[in-house]
Amino acid sequence: MPTISSLIPRALVAATVISALASVAWAQQPPTVRIRGTIESVDGAMLTIKSREGTDMKVRVTDNVVVVGIAKSSLAEIKPNSYIGVSAMPEPDGTQKALAIHIFSEAQRGTGEGFRAWDLRPNSTMTNATVAETVTGTDGQNIMVKYKDGEKKVVVPPGDADRRICYG
C-alpha cells in the first residue's frame, strides 16, 4: 500500500499534467475578432462585409451568431436607470468624452457591464452601465453611470448631443 509521502509527488505530477492539458485546450480557442463595417450580402452562413477601412471581407458565422442593428435616437431618451453603452475618449480630468452612446433595450440590461479599452479609436474606452443621473452643464450634457465595479462621468459636448446617440 502506498504511503502518503509517495502519493504527494504523484498527485503533483497529475495536477501539472492536467493543468498543462487545460492550458493547451484553452490556448486553442479562437480569439474574438471585432469587425466594424456594413453587411453587403448574406449567403447562408457567409456574410460579405465592407469594413470601415473599405476592405471587402467574407465571414462565416456560427449557428448562434448575434447581429445587432442600431437606429438613431436622441439624448432626451437617456434617463436615470437607462442601461447604456458609451464609447468614449478619456479626458485628463478623469471624465469620459462621449464618441457614441448606445441605449440598450431592457432585455439587454447587464450586457458587457463594466469599463474597458475599446477599438472605436486608438485609446478609446467602452463603459456599459446604468445611468445614475443626467445634468446639463456648461460643458454639455453630463451623465453619471454606475456599474458593478465603479462609476464614470460621461460628458456629451454641446453640438454632439443628438448626433451620436442610437438605440439598439
Residue in 29, 47, 31, 27 with CA at minimum distance from that of residue 39: 47
The predicted-structure confidence for 115-143, as pLDDT tens digits, reads as follows 999 988 899 999 999 999 999 877 788 99
How far apart are the C-alpha atoms of 79 and 72, rounded to whole Å?
A: 16
Phi, psi of 61 (to 5 degrees): -105, 155
What percent of the chain lies above the pLDDT cut of 70?
Answer: 77
How far apart are the C-alpha atoms of 38 and 41, rounded to whole Å?
A: 9
- For residue 40 the three cell numbers come to 453587403
**Phi-psi map region of 81: left, alpha, beta (phi>0 left; psi -120 to 50 alpha):** left
What burial class does residue 122 get, using C-beta atoms within 10 Å of its C-beta: 0-12 exposed, 13-18 middle, 19+ buried?
A: exposed
Ranking 33-42, 51-60, 159-168 by mean pLDDT, the lowest is 159-168
